[in-house]
Chains A and B, each alone.
Chain A
Amino acid sequence: MAHAQPAGRSGSGKDATARPVPGDGKIVLEQAEIARALTRIGHEIIERTRGAEQVILLGIPTRGVPLAARLAAGIQQVEGHPVPHGSLDITMYRDDLRLRPARALGRTQVPPDGIDGQIVVLVDDVLYSGRTVRAALDALNDLGRPRAVQLAVLVDRGHRELPIRPDYVGKNLPTAQHEVVRVLLTEVDGEDAVLLGVAGDAAGGRSR
């Protein structure tokens, strides 16, 4: 499969690649590009936080969690010290709980020393309306008082509904609201890819 496909590439994943892709939708990021984006975000975190000494990476389930773990591993490779990482489930803090049936909870796992006085970097796969991040900020509030909170996302697809902006972005992806962005990660889905499709395509995966 060719490397570094431009984002605006047309044609579906089916006919443009040798590898079958679950569901329909065009590939906007491939495995190598995701890896490169994460490496860059890792370096940006190190730069912005002066060595990432006091950084805690908290992934938002489901796909933010493996992303946080990958970022932590990447930063450790460069800086040589381990970076604590965990997960932050936001289900109980959502503002749309009453709009849908009660859903299963994810896991919140915070490093044992807590988050007080640390720089917490929230990690998620796709930034869309910003409501997930708002819920995450509320959830953090109940866990302690970090010195600062930053936001890292693999894909920023726009259409914010709240005054929230990311600090680290893997890829800015201009989308229409009827489009669906799906992030596939090896840890969850068996392979790495970011797909852009039209609503209704993404029956099997999480649509955002």
Chain B
Amino acid sequence: MNRHLISAADLSRDDALQVLDTADELARISDRPIKKLPTLRGRTVVNLFFEDSTRTRISFEAAAKRLSADVINFSAKGSSVAKGESLKDTALTLEAMGADAVVIRHNASGAPHRLAEWVRGSVINAGDGAHEHPTQALLDAFTIRRRFGRSSGSAGQAGRGGALDGLRVTIVGDILHSRVARSNVILLHTLGAEVLLVAPPTLLPVAVDTWPCAIDYDLDAALPKSDVVMMLRIQQERMNAAYFPSVREYSRRYGLDSARMAQLPERAIVMHPGPMNRGVEIAAGVADSPRSTVVEQVTNGVSVRMAVLYLLLGGAEGSQ
């Protein structure tokens, strides 16, 4: 693996499978009375969050603490950033404090990439603008693998779990503003899944035809041939123009309600990276149905992030 995790494209198929297999073993820790491992004792992980986040920040914090790392939480609000400090100066401060890993979320695409040039530790991208969110893609892949019985734990033996070859994943909604969609398209393609994007043409990014996936505009046609449906939130906070006539019309054409869910094949699952807007892209009845993996995704997030932290920080420095 690389020293940093900035894009899902940093992961080869073997790297990705190694993360997922490691996460499979680490997931078993959460069933124990003592949910802690001494592996990263004495290492410092800084959570550098320039943008609001609930689950990603908590998930990274829990993951680092379960591996016994020291965690420093930094949020732009209430820090010197509010006084006008630049990203570089913030980075140099962290460097001076001896951070072994920096988990960064930033509203500007490419911020983690820049940061990686300034700090000695590993940089983990926890979401940059509309660019990428690789650990979300990893936890989604992990969730899919578990639900379809391809994880390394399914045979009762440790070892190599399977990839996602042949599974059909449909990602629906605001692809344009979604870092989750981009990372998922890259990673799921690496793992052999067939990805289909479904969205109104206005919510597709410019060069989407160069992505390794298919594109469709009709959700009803896509559902019967999907093993996984991933619903994305309409990111109103990033929208500075009218991308569709009304929320109600969007919901009619691209929202997943119970009637649409009934068109899915029997084993198909419904995913959502959260936060959900119930009633817009996903109906409450669908979000709470047994097909929905929303809560599982959060649980799996901790295991996957533990795996990433372990693989980036657990071994010898500079050996990866």
Contacts and interface: CB of A to CB of B under 8 A. Distances in A.
A106 B317 contact: no
Interface residues of B, number: 27
A142 B316 contact: no
A111 to B, nearest CB: 13
Given A92-B67, A102-B311, 17 more contacts: A89-B158, A92-B38, A93-B38, A98-B315, A99-B316, A100-B319, A101-B315, A101-B320, A102-B314, A104-B18, A104-B21, A104-B22, A105-B25, A106-B158, A107-B158, A143-B32, A143-B34
B158 A61 contact: yes
Contacts of A205: none
B37 A93 contact: yes
Name the prevailing secondary structure of the A interface residues: loop
A97 B25 contact: no
Contact of B37 (A92, A99, A106, A144): A92
Contacts of A93: 37-39
Interface of B: 1, 18, 21-22, 25-26, 28, 32-34, 36-39, 67, 157-158, 310-317, 319-320
Interface in A104-146: 104-108, 138, 142-144
A138 B38 CA distance: 9
8 contacts: A92-B67, A98-B317, A100-B315, A100-B316, A100-B319, A106-B25, A107-B158, A108-B28
Nearest to B39: A92
Closest 3 CB pairs of A and B: A107-B158, A102-B315, A105-B25
A93 B37 CA distance: 7
A48 interface: no
A102 B319 CA distance: 9
A103 interface: yes
A99 B28 CA distance: 26
A102 B311 CA distance: 5
A11 B67 CA distance: 48
Contacts of B319: 100-101
Contacts of A102: 1, 310-315, 320
Contacts of A104: 18, 21-22
Contacts of A108: 25, 28
Nearest to A97: B314
A105 B26 contact: yes
A108 B32 CA distance: 11
A143 B158 CA distance: 19
Nearest to A108: B28
A14 B36 CA distance: 48
B36 A105 contact: no
Q: Which residue of B34, B158, B320 has the most chain A CB atoms within 10 A of its CB atom?
A: B158
Given A99-B316, A101-B316, A102-B314, A142 B158 contact: no
Contact of B36 (A87, A98, A142): A142
Contacts of B37: 92-93, 142
A34 B88 CA distance: 62
